[in-house]
Amino acid sequence: MIPLRRLGAVRVSLPLLVALTAAGLTACRDGAPDASPDCQSPGVTSDKVVAGLLYPDTGPLAGEFSAFRGGVEARLGVAAQEGGVNGRQLVYEWADDQAQPSINLVAAQHLVDDQNVFGIMEVTTAASGSAKWLNEQGIPVTGHADESVWSNYENMFSYSYFLGSGNGVDTYGLFVKRAGGTRAVVMSIWGNEFSTKASDAVAASLEAVGIPVVDRIEVTPGITNPSATAARIRALDADVLVSYATESEFARTVNLARQAGVDIKVVLAPNGYGSADQPLDWPVGSYTSLVYHPFESGSPGIARFREAMSEFVPQVRPATSSVALHGWITADMFVRGLREAGPCPTRESFIRGLRGVKSYDADGIIVNRVDFGQNLGVADLCLSFVQFDGPAKGWHVVPGADSLCGTHLTTPAR
């Protein structure tokens, strides 16, 4: 049974509360909220829409997702400044799923049945726990597809599908090959479904371009000895390490392997860039892939995000957090869905309206424009790659890989 104290009411930062209050006062003077229809949809009143926020606030993966909520609040703060959606402010109730499927289901049911939310904004590696039930209830869900289950249901919206429902892409392999990699080890978290499937996908991508995967190493964060993992990599004479483990496990393993004399030419992980884990000794020269334009790009959409983070959630540091950006885009999709749903939104009109959006890029943030009517379960084909500059303690775009596109594989990952 999930503790109710982790299923609390909305708690917003002071800047966001001020923005919501000011927007409400301005709208009252202009008559905007009163002009909104008094709809009968769950979570919808004449002056607000209540969304659910579902993510791991506690548990072993909480640190990986801690900035997500900040990104959501920043986007809602901007929406409040703009007067909300059709005269209604967007607020949220939150629940903690601890990244456990069974708890994810209980938390989702709490949000829908007890908190009466209109829809859910979600990031977790345990969405599979509630996905089927949420689809059966017709609840719109926006978020980042960290599991293949996001490919199965029309009510679940993601701007990015790393896994997808097909056979994957060779983009990762193409990049590693360009960077000089020849023999790979892929590291994942033992017992974590997403991590296992992600490592399957990247292994298939590497092998598709002729790079053999000489070992698959499963680790248990906090238990597995990184020195033993590093020794195993050394014995295999591998020059590529791709990790879908935690940031700390990845960083320690790479650094220890290098100290032991292993010449790892290519180290690739989906995390690290925009990490809030400042004390971490991130491996020099490591790469990561992005589905959005890097913070260093200075695009108008990225600039707007950074300004909002500083204004509404100044406690989230660094403001250039990739997890926070996922939160921002998740909330932005929710805002867009409400706009498409019309002045008297229903869950059905939200889902139908957002599926009808043909060219979504979150105000120029996402590398490829998304057609929500066609992207369900389609793995990301084009990616931006960035590299960590150790002496500068910063990142730069890899020349020629700011938008690297591969092809879809014809054989499934094994």
pLDDT of 20 reads: 52
DSSP secondary structure letters along 13-69 = -HHHHHHHHHHHHHHHHHTHHHHS----STTB-SSEEEEEEEE-SSSTTHHHHTTHH
**H/E element, 93:** strand 89-96
Q: What residues form DSSP beta bridges with 394?
A: 389
**What is the mean predicted confidence (pLDDT) over 205-219?**
95
Name the band, by pLDDT with cuts 50, 70 and 90, for residue 37. Answer: low
Q: Which of 25-29, 195-199, 352-356, 388-392 has the lowest mean pLDDT?
A: 25-29
Mean pLDDT, range 8-26, rounded to an integer: 47
Check pLDDT > 70 for residue 328: yes
CA distance 155 to 141: 6
- Residue 9 pLDDT more than 60? no
Alpha helices in 110-180 (DSSP H): 131-137, 171-178
Whether residue 300 has a cis bond before it, omega within 30° of 0: no
pLDDT at 209 over 60: yes
How many percent of the chain have pLDDT more than 90? 62
* Span 194-199, average pLDDT: 86
- What does the pLDDT read at residue 269? 92
pLDDT at position 16 is: 55
Strand partners, 191: none
Pick from 71, 329, 113: which is nearest to 337 by CA?
329
Structure tokens at 145: 């597809």
390-394 contacts: CB < 8 A, separation 24 or more?
Answer: 390/282, 390/284, 390/285
The angle, 0 to 180 degrees and rounded to 10, between the axes of the packed helices 300-312 and 68-81 is 100
What integer is the mean pLDDT of 295-317? 91
pLDDT at 276: 52
Of 79 and 196, the structure prediction assigns the larger pLDDT to 79
pLDDT tens profile 213-225: 999 999 888 888 9
| Weakest mean pLDDT among 28-32, 50-54, 78-82, 261-265 | 28-32
Strands 404-405 and 394-397: unpaired
Q: Using 50, 70 and 90 to split pLDDT, how confident is the model at 402?
A: confident
User: Residue 226: what residue type?
Assistant: P
Work out the average pLDDT over 166-194. Answer: 91
Give me the helix-helix angle, 14-30 and 68-81, nearest 10°: 20
Per-residue model confidence (pLDDT) at position 35: 46
Pick from 216, 208, 146: nearest CA to 171: 208
At 363-372, the pLDDT tens digits run: 999 988 899 9
Q: What is the CA radius of gyration of the chain?
A: 21
Reading phi first (left if > 0) and then psi (alpha if -120 to 50, else beta), residue 168 is in left
Greatest mean pLDDT among 135-139, 201-205, 274-278, 410-414 lies in: 135-139
pLDDT of residue 232: 92
Q: Which of 4-18, 194-208, 354-368, 374-388 is least confident?
A: 4-18
Q: Whole-angstrom Cα distance, residue 120 to residue 143?
A: 9
**pLDDT of the residue at 357:** 98
SS3 204: helix
Across 28-52, average pLDDT: 74
Residue 6: band (very low, low, confident or very high) from pLDDT cuts 50, 70, 90: very low
Average pLDDT for the chain: 87
